[in-house]
Amino acid sequence: MNSNRNLLAVTLARVCFVCVTLLSASNSFAQSASPLIQNVFGRSTLSLNGDWHYIVDPHDEGKSRRYYLNGKPFGTRDFVEYNFDTSPTLHVPGDWNFQRPELQLYEGTVWYQKSFSYRSQPNTRAFLYFGAANYRAQVWLNGQPLCEHEGGFTPFDCEATSLLQDGDNVVIVSVNDTRHADDIPALRPDWFNYGGLTRDVMIVEVPRQFIQQYSIRLERGSTQRISGWVRLSDALAPQTVTLRIPELKISSKAISTKAGLFSFTVEAANLQLWSPEKPKLYHLEISTSSDQISEAIGFRTIETRGTEILLNGRSIFLRGIDLHEEAPYRSGRAHGADDARTLLGWARDLGCNFVRLAHYPHDELLIREADRMGMLVWSEIPVYQGIDFKNRQTLDKARQLLTEMITRDQNHMAIILWSVSNETPKSPERNAFLHQLVVTARELDPTRLITTATNQVSTPAPHQKVFDDPIIADLDVFGVNEYIGWYEGVPADLDLTTWSTPYNKPMIVSEFGGDARQGLHGSVNQRWTEEYQEDIYKHQISALRRIPFLRGMSPWLLKDFRSPHRQLPGIQDGYNRKGLISESGERKKAFYVLQQYYRELAYQAGESAR
Ligand code: GCU
């Protein structure tokens, strides 16, 4: 009980501290983003997806020209030199880069405008919810400043009840995706900087006092004791809260505290555990006298024991693949359930039971698909390579992203690993920064494994690899990115390589691979060909078989993806070509090498072929 209350108090304090810190930085908005509403897909909503008018603002003049007032150039004394209503449109959700050729390489500010009709309901509050806006967003509603948010891959919501009108409303959002050294990610990520309102936008309606956040899971080490907490918005009078799982004949009632907290523990006899083979989801309901929300939720345990990763108490090997959030078969950011099904379907065809979502939280609809499909997930915040580790504000931003990621997804049992960074160079500042993030993640969610992907590997002698990055001491599982055969040496060097670590912990090889242009063929020694990539995979797989503490792998990566770093003509043409599948969906030879290995592992694990 107390631990749940402490956990919740910490979550609250952390969310409010971060919001206040960021607010003081910009002081132009009456309020910052509100505490995150979980499970908006279980709520009554008004979708604002569709066509939005837009104005490109390369010199950031929109604010001084007061675009947020949605002025009209005609029939007024005022001087107005813009008109959203006659401006072109962009589709939301979606990046602006691949909707308009002139915006393909644009980085800067774009103003979005959407008119919509709304009718308020009695005793109802309304929040404007954004699934993601890359990178900085400022929101006005009916000409009034509403809220702002920083971070391109996590959701935010803003209370709009007092500004919404019955009838016509206009929301205006300025989105800026300029990169800065103290941002997360910083200046040079190896992926395309897609700008815009890249995920769903909606009005979420909730009662005056509503169920804001909750965490429901099996208690650590137990396969039938379910515990958790529920937090109600606004600490009004204590409420009776009921948690029901009809299929398990569970109905637990209790009174919330004055602070609107309700925590519980219930025994669940005959609970069927969630696993990749059997992704069992239960219908769960939480209700109070004024609110009710339901969720499809699975129950599983995840822990480590020495170098083992245990899912539901059984040792598991993670057969994985990395992927970026890029749409299959078309250019642009992926979003929505269809894209998720296609991408996870490809991973399933590969024989995966695990995906590493690089290097930022992906759309919640993909996580929901992973819950349904039984695909284990590594979710990560974009603390990527060169981050300003000395900067306190950068640490606050990282904590905010971590808090938003965990808050949004903590009830999705597909997620087993929270990653706090990727390939960050060792230094005292970096170690302290990452240590802080690990502490935050454990405070927010003591039930999942904490990890990070490191490439800080020592080579005391040729072909000798020692995984001794000091950050590993803080982690449950460590991820190693190694590119032997591509950035380092040739594939045959893997046959000579030895691997060791001073840590008694499970390791995942979180990246390996090499570029190949699909359809380019030649000898195994010819880089950029399918044969060279295939050879890398053959040597990697036989080398990794020799690592006694290896408990998973996620090669880099499922599909070729856009990156401004990759400009080799006729080969890369703006794409990182390390995918096993080309951007148009064609599979490369290495795909089948990995598929065959994963089928062998699945067979050894006694899994029936899918
Ligand atoms: C790194 C990095 C990836 C990058 C990859 C590559 O390891 O984590 O983001 O794309 O290497 O160089 O292809």
- Residue 578: CB within 6 Å of ligand 1? yes
Segment 556-563 mean pLDDT: 98
Whether the pLDDT of residue 157 is over 90: the answer is yes
Distance 190 CA to ligand 1 centre (A): 6
This model's pTM is above 0.75: yes
Using alpha carbons, select from 312, 405, 305 the residue that is nearest to residue 11: 405
Q: Closest ligand 1 atom, CA of 358?
A: 9
556 lines ligand 1 (CB under 6 A): yes
Which among 511, 576, 580 is the best mutation to test ligand 1's pocket, defined by most ligand atoms within 8 Å of the CB? 511
Q: How far apart are CA 606 and CA 316, in angstroms?
A: 11
Percentage helix, strand, coil for the chain under 3-state DSSP, each rounded to 5 = 25, 30, 45
CB-neighbour burial class of residue 435 (10 A; exposed 0-12, middle 13-18, buried 19+): middle
Per-residue tokens: 418: 């929270």
User: Which tokens go with 562?
Assistant: 């856009």
398 neighbors 437 (Cβ within 8 angstroms): yes
Ligand 1 pocket test, candidate residues 383, 509, 576, 580, most atoms within 8 A of CB: 576
Closest-lying ligand 1 atom to the alpha carbon of residue 384: 8
User: What pLDDT is attached to residue 34?
Assistant: 78
Q: Torsion over CA of 398, 109, 25 and 333, rounded to 10 degrees?
A: -20
CA distance 562 to 331: 9
Query: For residues 49 and 379, what is the distance between their CA atoms, to the nearest angstrom?
Result: 26
247 Cβ closer than 6 Å to some ligand 1 atom: no
Q: Which atom of ligand 1 is nearest to the CA of 515?
A: 13
Question: Residue range 492-496: average pLDDT?
Answer: 98
Query: Which tokens in the block code for residue 358?
Result: 């690089």
Q: What residue owns the CA closest to ligand 1's atom 9?
A: 190
Q: pLDDT by residue (tens digit) across 28-37?
A: 665 567 789 9
pLDDT tens, position by position, 343-382: 999 999 999 999 999 999 999 999 999 999 999 999 999 9
Our answer on whether the CB atom of 423 is closer than 6 Å to any ligand 1 atom is: yes
* 530 ligand 1 Cβ < 6 A: no
Cis status of the peptide bond prior to 557, with omega within 30 of 0: yes
For residue 253, give the H/E element and its range: strand 250-255
Residue 418 has pLDDT above 50, yes or no: yes
Check if 419 has its Cβ closer than 6 Å to any atom of ligand 1: no
Identify the pLDDT of residue 255: 86
Binding site membership of 422 for ligand 1 (Cβ less than 6 Å): yes
Q: Provide mean pLDDT across the span 123-146.
A: 97
Crossing angle of helices 392-409 and 364-373, rounded to 10°? 40
Per the prediction, the chain carries an average pLDDT of 94
Side-chain-facing half-sphere of 151: CA atoms under 13 Å: 30
Nearest CA owner, ligand 1 atom 10:
190
Q: Tell me the two tokens of residue 48.
A: 């604002």
Q: Is the CB of 515 under 6 A from ligand 1?
A: no
Q: Residue 31: its pLDDT value, please?
A: 52
Using pLDDT thresholds of 50, 70 and 90, give the confidence band for residue 287.
Answer: very high
Q: What is the pLDDT of residues 501-534, one digit of tens each?
A: 999 999 999 999 999 999 999 999 999 999 999 9
What is the C-alpha to C-alpha distance for residues 94 and 115, in angstroms, rounded to an integer?
A: 18
CB 279 within 8 A of CB 372: yes
State the Cα–Cα distance between residues 422 and 480, nearest whole angstrom: 9
Mutate to test the pocket of ligand 1, among 380, 528, 556, 578 (most ligand atoms within 8 A of CB): 556
Q: Are 377 and 357 in contact, with CB atoms under 8 Å apart?
A: yes
Beta 318-323 vs 354-357: how paired, if at all? parallel
Atom of ligand 1 nearest to the CA of 576: 13
State the distance from the centre of ligand 1 to the C-alpha of 519, rounded, in angstroms. Answer: 22
Ligand 1 pocket check: which of 324, 423, 456 to mutate, most ligand atoms within 8 Å of Cβ?
Answer: 423
CA of 137 to the centre of ligand 1 (A): 28
Residue 485 pLDDT: 98
Ligand 1, atom 3, residue with closest C-alpha: 190
Q: Which of 188, 190, 508, 540 to mutate to test the pocket of ligand 1 (most atoms within 8 A of CB)?
A: 190
Which residue's CA is the nearest one to ligand 1's atom 7? 481
Cα-based distances in Å from 588 to 146, 349, 361, 449, 524 = 48, 13, 27, 33, 14
pLDDT at 22: 46
Least confident of 72-81, 173-182, 423-432: 72-81
Please work out whether the CB of residue 511 comes within 6 Å of at least one atom of ligand 1: yes
* pLDDT, greater one: 170 or 260: 170
Q: Is residue 228 within 8 Å of residue 214, measured between CB atoms? A: yes
Instruction: Answer with the residue of higher pLDDT: 5 or 445.
Output: 445
Q: Whose CA is nearest to atom 12 of ligand 1?
A: 190
User: pLDDT above 70 covers what percent of the chain?
Assistant: 94
